[in-house]
Structure 1
Amino acid sequence: MDFGFGTGEDVFRQEARDWLRAHPPGDDPRRWERELGQGGWIGIGWGVEGYGNRRAGLTQQVVWAEEYARAAAPARLGHIGENLLAPTLVAYGTKEQQDRFLPGIARGETLWCQGYSEPGAGSDLAALRTRAVRDGDGAYRVTGQKIWTSLALDADWCFVLARTEEGSRRHHGLSFLLVPMDQPGRIEVRPIRQMSGTSEFNEVFFDGALAQAHDVVGGEGNGWTVAMGLLALERGVSTLAQQIGFEQELRQVVRLAVDSGAVHDPVLKDRLVRQWAELRTMRWNALRTLGGGATPGPEAAGAPNVAKLLWGRWHQRLGELAMQVKGPAGAAGPGPWSESYELDELQRLFLFSRADTIYGGSDEIQRTVIAERILGLPKEPR
């Protein structure tokens, strides 16, 4: 199978590189989102244009994602709106919803977060208990708690999966609601401090938060179908960009191994080579599956679930390998003279990667999806 790119992609790659060189990100992530929007780089993979975005084919989307990662450009505040909500609105939303929300995402002006997981409903999303009840004006009042909500402190809106049918159970009676975050006294966001010292994730508490009836995507009671369609879109092209980041981390580990002389240990050297070979295999697998033409929905989940299983454990092994290369220094901070305990990049890699096999759907859930939905194996008795 040919995994190369053609002349058209080479021209597009140069355009992307030139633009990224001419537009340094700076320190303001919101300003950076707006600059990306002005350049037309947000929403290139939506399959529709006219919202201020340029339109790119699949291979061009891959090229942009790779060049963005190679330029060491910052993590995107607008990722959730661009890559999760917007394609979902294209697939399931009304024309009015698309015209209302897509322009703000494409301009880099409106930021989103995802309200799925709850304290008692993480990988088992169908166990969620957040409720949305109609009030006298026909709108919804949302009450409940979400957790592990990325970028909630920065978000202007949250798409929330909530139970709208009284007495419903599991995946029945759920709706996909668009909820504005600027509701003081009705929405509270609390950062979750991780052992790596950062706080990317948050708890979000809804206490009668308002959601308009016309902001239900896919119709009332169809939330599970919309939510599963969104999850099928969750990895896609971004997987390849993620792998560029992995490659940069691996190079850092290899460089440290060479500089410290640890590379002369034959066992460690073998592990480094294996990490490199497995990363190349993951890239080829991602390129192969991206061209499959699958449509959103549970039946399209096989390739993303396999990819998640592959990269989650690979990244954990990389963190473990980094600590092996660092040796005893991996367990130490900068020294007793320092006023604060600061982790270096490889220490943060190791600690954060502990969660790789849990977030985004645990490995056990990924295997269950593959077994039951893709291979057709019998379900476990409940």
Structure 2
Amino acid sequence: MQPTGTQKSDGAGLERLWLQVCASRGTPAPDPGQRGQFLHDLEPEARSTLESVLTLAARGREKPGDLGLLSWAAACTRPALLKQLQSHGLAFTGAELFACGLKLRQDGWDMQQRIAQLHNHPEDVDTLRAWLPAVPQEEPVELVDLPLQALAAPAGQQETAPEAFYFWPDDGPLDDDAPGWDREHMNAMDTMPAAPASGRTQALPLLPTRFERQASPASSAAPAERDKSRLQLRLFGKAAAHTLEVTAHRRGGDFMGVHVVSIDSAHALSAGGGYAWERKLVLQLTPEEMPAVVATLIGITPSVRFGHHGATQAKFIELRRQEGGLVLVTGEHAAIYSVPVPTATLYYVLDLFCRAMAMEGDKPVRSVSEILALVKAAHGF
């Protein structure tokens, strides 16, 4: 009995570690109803790989591609993904799919992208089918002639209805568990009702996004005398919010007067109804960092991370593609601000960054196509 108890303890510890990394690094969280079974079913090699990556990520020492692996592990716990594969005749369990993905990632596969495009690539379906675990062959059953009465059900025994299986609807492609929350908050998220009991509408929609052109302080001046409008884009999540704004960089003159994007981040108020902007985190990208962010936005690179910002060099920004879009994370020490950005909103984020890079001084001098061509050339395309 001792080995069984140890195994359960190890599984619970690995589950806690996984949730800790989701909270601290903003990675997608596993399905709360499936993560325990997923970890239990993992083969030793796959389990060891996942545990190693989680341990490094918890310390901020993960290797390139490790956070993408954690995103893949979380995707393997989602019933909707397994159901999608079943529609192609691929009957994987979550643990089997994760092990398959580990092997194919070594061959350069982007698993989530490949699976999303299976209907256009039947050869990928064949590749995945080759990785399905072999089904053990049942021993042949010897048929014996029995009297007809022997096939009848015992007297008084009621016929039972066949077991029914129900698939829960997919809750959505993105998971924005609040980074920095403790276990109690994460458990509360798992059981959060769809709407408040009072029936009141939420003060903020889940992910409203918009451009705002705010007038300069000289709003009382005539239109011809006003300063140029400020280009802003606001992204809201359940745990935090970001304000992205095109600004001049203090070293802009060293880079032909180009502009950059500054980011203000704030945590959501525990009582709801807004964000703590009075305690916001302020971070400004450098001209050197802007092209790398655009490369991630257009899918050339899966993620980008910059640290050593601020007076104490403790601030960082991370942009990482994931299923259904990307996640934008900023932070300083233990304060983490993570906001998921759906694919439909990426257009506006990319537009904002391109507008910033198009500027020289106070005028746009480059087109979007020129900027994208420069970014692709700089990244080897």
With the length of structure 1 as denominator, give the TM-score of the two structures.
0.29
Q: Which has the larger radius of gyration?
A: 2
- The structure whose residues are more often strand, as a share, is 2
With the length of structure 2 as denominator, give the TM-score of the two structures.
0.29
